[in-house]
Amino acid sequence: MDEKCTKLWQKLSTALKPQVSADTFKRWFSGLELVDATEESLTFQVPNNIYQFWIESNHMAAFQAAIVKALGGPRQVNFSSPAGTQSAIDLEEMGVAKELRIESDRQTKTATTLLGLNPRNTFESFVVGPNNEIAHAASLAVAQSPARTYNPLFIYGGVGLGKTHLMQAIGQYVWTKKKTSKVMYLSSELFINEFIDAIQHSNLVKFRKRYRQADLLLIDDIQFLGGKERSQEEFFHTFNTLFDGHKQIVLSSDRPASEIANLEHRLVSRFEWGLTAELQPPAVETRMAILRKKARILQIKLNDDVFEFLANRIRTNVRRLEGALMRVASFASLSGKELTQEVIEHLLKDILQEEARSSVTIEQIQKRVAAHFDVRLADMTSKRRPANIAFPRQIAMYLARELTKASLNEIGEAFGGRDHGTVLHACKLVKKRMHEQDSIRQTISFIDSSLQR
């Protein structure tokens, strides 16, 4: 790595020298040391912070030009002070008035990590499938020509399906293409907190200025604005200012705008103004692709049947899928044991159970209960009601109530067109019997766990 950095720095120096005067080079750039280089960023160690201040203020354009020339593309430039001064600064920061510190902390953070965007979240690392095609295409279109195509872009979808990934990808795409553009990425919660802070210290003007100057405003989890009336009003004006100024706005939420509780109509209608794109849970092929890509990035080597197993069993959530992959991979590398199906199942017990919980169907329950009590499946839906059939049927109804999201009516329908009262009665009865007889409780929990496996 060190050698690579030295070489890179030499290359960069050669490109930089014609861009700045000899004195400037000697004074400001000869003291730099390249300590880390990635595809996205370069980190330089500076003798002390005046180097950073002065280079950032005066020589950044020349520096970036040299980077493009030497490395073929722009990089984010970070500076770090030597360890000694760093810790001194940390100590100093402790003493600074609280507000000032929070403020400056937040700002330095955004400055160095590119506005809090995770460099991993780019369009390249996003796996496109039929479930997210539209959202991806719309995001890319927005990133390529902000405020020209879809404004605002409203992305919604469940937990862990890539809303944040897409938003951050837009932010980074725009920022890398044009360094001068003001990209702001934040969660609606942060927006609300800053708004409250601004009211408290009566610097609303500054707050407004901050947001209304953005060229690209990305707000994550906008649903949290629901019920916050003043924040909504403030956001409404921010939205209008940006929209009228032809600035791009991208919003994400876990549900469609019209379903966000306590959100003013004028906001809802504005959110639906541009393009609304939904993210759906990925299909099994997409899940495979995601796993493969993730494994490549993390440099994990696993058998195809492991991928297949994971892709088949974990359906709802990409984040969970990646977590499971990490868990399996780290187990494999730590223990060195072979990954059999049983090992993986044991390893991912909790995840798989969670997954199963949401995917049990009434049919499965009926089958399993019928098999357990040795009655015919047809008896589950028949009108006959001797005790040896009626009780298993009631247990099945109870389990359907507990394990599926079906309503009383739907359950009754699935059990041969019974009405919801019957189902309710069955649930009550089973609960009562479970309470009274341990053996019944055990039987039911056995069926329950066998269903969820």
Partner 1 sequence: MKFSVTKEKLLEGLQQVQNVVSTRTTLPILSNVLLQANGNEVHVTTTDLDVGVRGSFEAQVEKEGATTLPARRLFNIVRELPSSEIQVDIDGKNTASIRSGQSFFKILGLPEEEFPPLPKFENAKSVTIPQKALRDGLRKTSYAISTDETRYVLNGVLFSFKENKLTLVATDGRRLAMLDIELEFPRSHEADIIVPTKAVTELQRLLTDDGDVKVSVGSGQIAFDLNKTLLVSKLIEGNYPNYKQVIPSEAKERVTLERETFLNSLRRVSLLASDKSNSIKLNFTKNNIDITANTPEVGEAKEALPVTYKGREFSIAFNPEFLMAPLRNLTEDEVFLDLIDEMSPGVLKIQTPFLYVLMPMRISA
* 377 counts as binding partner 1 under rule CB under 8 A: no
Candidate list 30, 72, 73, 202; residue touching partner 1; CB under 8 A: 202
- Determine the size of the site formed for partner 1 (CB under 8 A): 32
Alpha-helical (H) ranges within 245-283 are 265-271
DSSP classification of residue 263: -
Binding partner 1 by CB under 8 A: which of 38, 108, 269, 445? 108
Q: How far is the CB of 49 from partner 1 (least distance, A)?
A: 5
Nearest Cα to 29, choosing from 18, 38, 42, 16?
16
Closer to partner 1 by CB, 207 or 243: give it: 207
Alpha carbon distance, N-terminus to C-terminus of the chain: 47
15: nearest Cα among 60, 76, 72, 70: 70
Of the listed pieces 194-202, 209-217, 279-287, 366-374, which binds partner 1 according to CB under 8 A?
A: 194-202
Which residues 72-101 are close enough to bind partner 1 by CB under 8 A?
85, 88-89, 92-93, 95-97, 100
* Residue the block writes with tokens 């937040």: 106
Burial of 398 (0-12, 13-18, 19+ CB in 10 A): buried
Report in angstroms how near the CB of residue 73 gets to partner 1 at its nearest.
23
Subset of residues 11 to 30 that bind partner 1, contact rule: CB under 8 A: 20-21, 23-24, 27
Find the Cα–Cα–Cα–Cα dihedral 86, 90, 92, 93, rounded to 10°: 130
* Nearest-angstrom CA–CA distance, 114 and 112: 5
Q: Whole-angstrom Cα distance, residue 419 to residue 32? A: 78
Run of H or E residues at 244:
helix 229-244
Helix or strand or coil: residue 273?
coil
Task: State the sign of the Cα–Cα–Cα–Cα dihedral 211, 217, 223, 224.
Answer: negative
Answer yes or no: are the C-beta atoms of 135 and 165 closer than 8 Å.
no
CB of 227 to partner 1, least distance (A): 25
Does position 107 bind partner 1 by CB under 8 A? Answer: yes
Q: Is 104 in the site for partner 1 (CB under 8 A)?
A: yes
State which residue, 206 or 428, has the beta carbon closest to partner 1: 206
Among the residue ranges 57-65, 254-262, 304-312, 353-361, the one whose residues contact partner 1 (CB under 8 A): 57-65
Q: Of these, 200, 342, 376, 387, which contacts partner 1 (CB under 8 A)?
A: 200
Q: Which is nearer to partner 1, 50 or 378 (CB)?
A: 50
Nearer to partner 1, 200 or 439 (CB): 200
68 scored as a contact of partner 1 (CB under 8 A): no
103 is a contact residue toward partner 1 (CB under 8 A): yes
Which residue in the set 4, 10, 38, 56 belongs to the binding site for partner 1 (CB under 8 A)? Answer: 56
Name residues whose C-beta falls within 8 Å of residue 38's C-beta, 6 or more positions apart in sequence.
119
Cα–Cα dist 43/28, whole Å: 15
* Paired residues of 429 in beta bridges: none
Confirm if 228 and 199 have CB atoms less than 8 A apart: no
| Given 10, 58, 388, 450, the residue binding partner 1 (CB under 8 A) | 58
438-452 vs 349-359: helix axis angle to the nearest 10?
Answer: 100
Which of 38, 53, 193, 450 is close enough to bind partner 1 by CB under 8 A? Answer: 53
Residue from 44, 51, 154, 207 that binds partner 1 (CB under 8 A)? 51
Question: In sequence order, what are the beta bridge partners of 80?
Answer: 45
Helix, strand, coil fractions of the chain, as percent rounded to 5: 65, 10, 25
Interface with partner 1, residue 179, by CB under 8 A: no
Q: Which stretch binds partner 1 (CB under 8 A): 47-55, 179-187, 287-295, 406-414?
A: 47-55
Asked if 16 and 63 count as a contact pair (C-beta separation under 8 A), the reply is yes
Region of 56-64, 260-268, 310-318, 401-409 interacting with partner 1 (CB under 8 A): 56-64
Give the span between the Cα atoms of 424 and 426, in whole angstroms.
Answer: 5
Which of 68, 102, 111, 371 is in the footprint of partner 1 by CB under 8 A? 111
Whichever of 190 and 199 has its CB closer to partner 1, that residue is 199
Q: Write down the least CB distance from residue 1 to partner 1, Å.
A: 29
Q: Which residues bind partner 1 (CB under 8 A)?
A: 20-21, 23-24, 27, 48-51, 53-54, 56-58, 61, 85, 88-89, 92-93, 95-97, 100, 103-104, 107-108, 111, 200-202
